[in-house]
Amino acid sequence: MGRRANPAFAVGAVAVPVAALAYALVFAPVVQHIYVHVMAGVLWTGIDLFMAIVLGPVLGGLPVEERASVFQRFTPKMAFLMPSLALVTIGGGVTLAERMGVFPHADPWIALLTLASTVPALLLIGWQFDALDDPRWLAAFAVALLGGGAYLAVTASAFGMTSPTILLALAIVTVLTVLGFGVLLPGEVRIYRQLASGDPDPEVVSRIGMRNARLSGLQGLFQLAIVVVMVYLRWGGF
């Protein structure tokens, strides 16, 4: 997939956001941490809304073969860029909330977020690839379930209620994570597998691509919702 996306683009789309997050976590003052989190979120939200509002309707008016041709070039790049932006936005936001002291009892809630995100996402991945009985999927699911459960057990002694605003933000983040990593990213992988087959089916490529474009609009709405939550958290109290 890296070759189809352009190796330089693939490396940059992952390395630059991850490096920015690492800098924010280890070296940056709070204001720069905020900048990294907000910029990643702006790019993530803007691209999703662009896909749903502009690209989706344009592609919807094209013949299937032309639509599939666009997705063949577009999807490999998105498969590297969007997960990176999502991880940096979410990771940067959670750590920023802790750093600013607005996320009480963070550790057990992060453990719950991890379980609530990874388990449904893996179930959706297994279902989409018809892999629920595949030993590799079962191993990954066991690691996520047992690892998340162990993380929750270790942090359970610190459990306490956090703020309602943080709870709402965590709920939205869970939906975004499950939708992004459990539906959108597997769809992009399925498109890539079609391309790599040597005889791609334009109908399949077009159908999955249009589904992802529509779901990106749903992602964008949830992202706008979390922007409202974050503004209230910062200036409206928590």
Over residues 73-89, the pLDDT tens digits come to 788 888 899 899 999 99
Question: Of residues 198 and 212, which shows the higher confidence score?
Answer: 212
User: How many Å apart are CA 68 and CA 17, to the nearest integer?
Assistant: 29
Average of pLDDT values for 114-131?
94
First to last CA, the chain: 43
Sign of CA dihedral 153, 155, 159, 161: negative
Phi-psi region of 161 (alpha: psi -120 to 50; beta: other; left: phi over 0): beta
In this prediction, residue 24 carries a pLDDT of: 93
Asked if 66 contacts 198 with a C-beta cutoff of 8 angstroms, the reply is no
Q: Give tens-digit pLDDT for 37-49.
A: 999 999 988 888 8
Q: Which two tokens stand for residue 20?
A: 């920015």
In this prediction, residue 2 carries a pLDDT of 67
Average pLDDT over residues 125-134: 93
Segment 89-114 mean pLDDT: 90
